[in-house]
Amino acid sequence: MTDFSLYTVRPYFHAKVFATPDGVDMTAEPDLPEKLQIIFKGVSDPHGAAVYLTREAVRSPWSSDERFTNVAYDIFIFHHNAEANLFFICSSRRHAQLYTRLAARFVPGRPRQLSNSSINRVLNDLQAAEFFSVGMRKRNKLGRIESYRMIAGPSADRAIQETDGRLYDRGHCFGKALEAGNQITIGVSTASKVWSNTYDRIPELLEWCNALAAKIASGRNPRTGSRLDLLSAGQELVNVPAGVIAMAWAAEVYLDPPPVFFRREDGTVVELNLLDFDLEIIESREGNVSFALTNPEITWYGEFSLGDGDLFQPASDNEPEIAIHRSNEDVWIAEYLNEESRAFTAPISPQSKDGAIIPCLIISSHLVTMHSKRLIGMRREWILPEKSCQAKMADPFSIGCRIVSWRLMRQWSSVMTVRAKWRISSQFTKQMPDRA
């Protein structure tokens, strides 16, 4: 394609954003799927950008004749904003795992997406904002009727009520606004994605990414002037708190648990699913959590921290090999833990007297930003132990996400939810009052 010009390309403005505290190697080759053939490659060091065009031949599913073969073309644009240490991937293929796979070749260490509060900073400096589509994530995970609410319409944000701010966190949003006197469209999702309903040349796309990077790096919390401001985008914390008492899988695991494989000492391969394993907290101190993935036949010990390297790491070099089958590939348990979301539960204050309110924190591990070493998405929940088995909430709209009311508890040492059971560490249970 010697006669091809990039000025003929007008990509859609859609970007996945990663934090890159250790920089980016723009000369690296992206790890594209095998079926994609690179037909054009362009790298610009001054602009911190790389462009790849690919071609894929897909045989028609209804005929074995090679003449009925479809040819699909895709574009991948990579851009590094050095000032903000952010990496943008603009791709015509928008799969979550593909984004992580592509970023892994450019970014030293494991690529990390931005937190919800960080990515929402792209909404700064907007006037007359109106949102056509708004998503609200339910804080209370109890029940199976509704976990995510979507509102759509010409002025969907006007339907958000003040009580929604207590029941829901901010999910995605898409709308229009004025920026520097110009009419724009802007969309944001919790998956660290930003988009605008715009097609333009690559230089304009890079300018758009740089403008977003400046807003994200500003650290300013956006005020759109719309009722979207009633929904919280999360709170940032500086480290892992001490006293973590429980650990749980993401909700998707309970709905569709992935297969797990490990080998016995006699060489036979065992196949189970992830819910056949228990998650148990071994030790929790400020900055570090030691835990175990246990089954009657095998135990894998790991650690979670915000230090250098991966968030989840095996506790030793001698941990047994456990593989998780995910999306037509097998990954080791440590890699799975780092890429999928989990939640930890910790009391704000371990000291508790009879009748005292016990505040708890819900921490989502997938919302960690490596460049700032901060945890995002921490929520407070309160439980008041009473013999009447009735939980009085300090805030009636913050009803439990992971730690639930006495009506779902059997004893202080076991906490029951609809889908899972966790063992609370003895250090915490010793401080709890007797129920009798």
In this predicted model, what pLDDT tens digit does every residue of 110-128 receive, in sequence order?
A: 778 888 899 999 999 999 9
Indicate the pLDDT class of residue 349, thresholds 50, 70 and 90.
Answer: very low
Sign for the CA dihedral angle at 89, 90, 91, 94 comes to positive
Hey, what amino acid is at 44? S
Q: Is 337 within 8 Å of 351 (Cβ atoms)?
A: no
The reported pLDDT for the residue numbered 347 is 55
The reported pLDDT for the residue numbered 147 is 75
Percent above pLDDT 70 for the chain: 74
Q: Which residues pair with 186 in a beta bridge?
A: 175
Secondary structure of residue 275 in the 3-state scheme: helix
Burial of 211 (0-12, 13-18, 19+ CB in 10 A): middle
The reported pLDDT for the residue numbered 55 is 95
Tell which residue, 159, 249, 205, has the closest CA to residue 14: 205
Q: How far from each other are the two terminal CA atoms of the chain, in whole angstroms?
A: 79
**308 against 49, higher pLDDT:** 49
Indicate the pLDDT class of residue 412, thresholds 50, 70 and 90.
Answer: very low
The reported pLDDT for the residue numbered 399 is 29
Segment holding 337, helix H or strand E:
helix 333-339
Q: Say if residue 344's pLDDT is above 70.
A: no
Q: Which residues pair with 435 in a beta bridge?
A: none
- Phi then psi for 212, rounded to 5 degrees? -65, -40
Mean pLDDT, to the nearest integer, of 266-273?
91
> In the sheet where 298-305 sits, what is the strand order?
278-285, 288-295, 298-305, 312-314
Token pair recorded at residue 200: 């333009």
For residues 52 and 357, what is the distance between their CA atoms, to the nearest angstrom? Answer: 57
**Beta strand residue intervals within 33-126, DSSP E:** 37-44, 49-59, 69-81, 86-91, 112-113
Burial of 344 (0-12, 13-18, 19+ CB in 10 A): buried
Q: Say if residue 298's pLDDT is above 50.
A: yes
Q: Say if residue 355's pLDDT is above 50.
A: no
Mean pLDDT, to the nearest integer, of 371-400?
34
Mean pLDDT, to the nearest integer, of 305-311?
74
The reported pLDDT for the residue numbered 350 is 39
Which of 17-31, 93-107, 379-393 shows the lowest per-residue confidence on average (mean pLDDT)? 379-393
Percent above pLDDT 90 for the chain: 46
For residues 232 and 164, what is the distance between their CA atoms, to the nearest angstrom? Answer: 10
For residue 1, what are the CA distances in angstroms to 200, 369, 432? 22, 40, 71
- Phi then psi for 371, rounded to 5 degrees? -70, -25
Q: Say if residue 96's pLDDT is above 70.
A: yes
DSSP 232: B
CA 200 to chain centre: 29
Q: Is 89 within 8 Å of 75 (Cβ atoms)?
A: no
For residue 357, what are the CA distances in angstroms to 139, 142, 242, 330, 344? 20, 21, 18, 44, 19
Q: Which residues of 45-61 are buried (b: 16+ CB within 10 A; e: fewer)?
A: eeebbbbbbbebeeeee
Query: Tokens 């989840």 correspond to what residue?
Result: 312
The reported pLDDT for the residue numbered 158 is 94
Mean pLDDT, to the nearest integer, of 247-257?
77
Indicate the pLDDT class of residue 314, thresholds 50, 70 and 90.
Answer: very high
Token pair recorded at residue 292: 């175990």
Mean pLDDT, to the nearest integer, of 171-182?
95
Q: Say if residue 15's pLDDT is above 50.
A: yes
The reported pLDDT for the residue numbered 191 is 87
Q: Say if residue 401's pLDDT is above 50.
A: no
The reported pLDDT for the residue numbered 22 is 85
Q: Is 241 within 8 Å of 249 (Cβ atoms)?
A: no
The reported pLDDT for the residue numbered 115 is 85
**Beta strand residue intervals within 320-365, DSSP E:** 322-326, 329-332, 342-347, 358-364
Which of 60-64, 80-84, 202-206, 307-311 shows the lowest per-residue confidence on average (mean pLDDT)? 307-311
Q: Is 127 within 8 Å of 177 (Cβ atoms)?
A: yes
Q: Say if residue 320's pLDDT is above 50.
A: yes
| Secondary structure percentages of the chain, helix, strand, coil, to 5 | 15, 40, 40
Which of 175-179, 227-231, 304-308 shows the lowest per-residue confidence on average (mean pLDDT)? 304-308
The reported pLDDT for the residue numbered 354 is 40
**339 against 101, higher pLDDT:** 101
Tell which residue, 151, 195, 161, has the closest CA to residue 176: 195
For residues 305 and 310, what is the distance between their CA atoms, to the nearest angstrom? Answer: 8
Which of 274-283, 347-356, 373-382 shows the lowest per-residue confidence on average (mean pLDDT)? 373-382
Q: Say if residue 406's pLDDT is above 50.
A: no
Q: Is 103 within 8 Å of 111 (Cβ atoms)?
A: yes
Q: Say if residue 241's pLDDT is above 70.
A: yes
